[in-house]
Amino acid sequence: MWAGAINGLSLLGFGSAFPALELDNEAVLRRLASKLWPHREPDDEQLRFMATSMRETLGVDRRSWAHEVGKPIDHRAEPTTIDLATSAGAKALQDAELLPRDVKLILCSTSTPPRMTSTVSAVVGHRLGAIGAACLDVRSGCSGGLYALATAAALLQAGDGPALVIGTETFSKVIPPSHKMAALSLGDGAGALVLARGKGRLMGVALETDGAYGHLVTAEGALPPTHDEIDQSRYELSGDPVELTKLVPPRYVSAIGRALGAVRPDEVDLFVPHQTSVPLISEVVKRSGLALERTVINVGAHANIGAAGWLVALAEAAHEGKVLDGTKLLIAAAGGGLSWGAALIEVSRS
């Protein structure tokens, strides 16, 4: 799907939130050593080498977790996607100098909801005090935040606002403790963006999905849960991330080209991609003809936080003064489903 210009759009506020537990690569490996190497745990030098190798090859150094992987989940004591989304949303509203009652629409995207039924967005709206706001969840893997952005922009053009778009994840609760790559590459957090009618515009957006590749990132357990599938750990993440990594770059490039339209890649002032790994982001930048120095990369500090990834990166860029009136902002994301997309925004902050 491609959509042309949606005029009259402003980016008013940005926010992010993370669990309190922050771990570097070595701390993760130490905590999971008995699960990763049940027969013989590595010594300190080997752990440091593996931690450094991950930082050098994927660019990932730290992440925040709501749950310590490998331990029993304590739902009452650990932050949920709703907790993180509420905190990020409140910060974005404060940044926009808006009250919760001003919000007319809340869209939340997550792959890790805390409940099987109901919506994350409705509880977030209630906790924020956004009385009467329309609330809905958008589930499309790590690209869900981008799908939510496009949905919000279209509804704002046809109606009133403001709208609050939130991506939120707690991957730590579904990471297999014996999967080193998943443990090191995934983190938890939430990012939020306040949209309203204004002077900017969504210049173009391209969204695509191919369900034939949904098995590459999934949790295979059926709902409602059964004891047998819980015992088989089928509610933990599974799939083939290596194959997924091969499929993503050409789809990114295609979506970016369609979103740009007549705008040249060198005219893009700021590129905010989904935060997966430095090599993948660099490959997409090179293939698309974009400038690496105009690309926001923060995966080293947060790892891959799914639907929250580009929203957190955008919030950090905005707070660093990089998102200004007139900025041509390109956003791209891809994730389980398989879904991918890109959007080009001419920024207005008012």
- Predicted confidence (pLDDT) at residue 1 exceeds the cutoff of 80: no
Comparing 2-8+203-346 with 10-199, is the CATH topology the same? yes
Q: Tell me, what's the pLDDT at 340?
A: 93
Contact 46, 266 (CB under 8 A): no
Contact 213, 141 (CB under 8 A): no
Which range, of 121-135, 145-159, 231-245, averages the lowest pLDDT? 231-245
- Predicted confidence (pLDDT) at residue 4 exceeds the cutoff of 80: no
pLDDT in tens, 26-71: 999 999 998 889 888 888 999 999 999 999 999 999 999 999 999 9
Contact 192, 310 (CB under 8 A): no
Structure tokens at 281: 């982001």
Max mean pLDDT among 41-55, 218-232, 282-296 falls in 282-296
Closest by alpha carbon to 308, among 171, 103, 208, 216?
A: 171
Other CB atoms within 10 Å distance of the CB of residue 224: 7
- Predicted confidence (pLDDT) at residue 242 exceeds the cutoff of 80: no
Closest by alpha carbon to 168, among 194, 143, 192, 149?
A: 192
CA-CA-CA-CA torsion for 350, 290, 304, 181, nearest 10 degrees?
180
Report domain extents, the chain: 2-8+203-346, 10-199
Which range, of 1-5, 17-21, 327-331, averages the lowest pLDDT? 1-5
Residue spans of beta strands (DSSP E) within the chain: 2-3, 6-17, 21-24, 62-65, 105-109, 134-137, 163-170, 188-209, 217-218, 238-239, 270-273, 328-335, 339-346
- Predicted confidence (pLDDT) at residue 214 exceeds the cutoff of 80: no
**Rounded CA separation 40/293 (Å):** 43
Model pTM above 0.85:
yes
Q: In which element (H, E) is residue 86 found?
A: helix 81-96
Q: Does domain 10-199 have CATH number 3.40.47.10?
A: yes
Helices (H), 159-308: 180-185, 227-231, 241-260, 278-288, 299-302
Q: Tell me, what's the pLDDT at 65?
A: 98
Q: Tell me, what's the pLDDT at 211?
A: 87
CATH number of 2-8+203-346: 3.40.47.10
Over range 205-215, report the average pLDDT: 88
Over range 265-287, report the average pLDDT: 96
Pairing assessment for the beta strands 188-209 and 2-3 based on DSSP bridges: antiparallel
Other CB atoms within 10 Å distance of the CB of residue 40: 7
pLDDT in tens, 260-274: 998 999 999 999 999
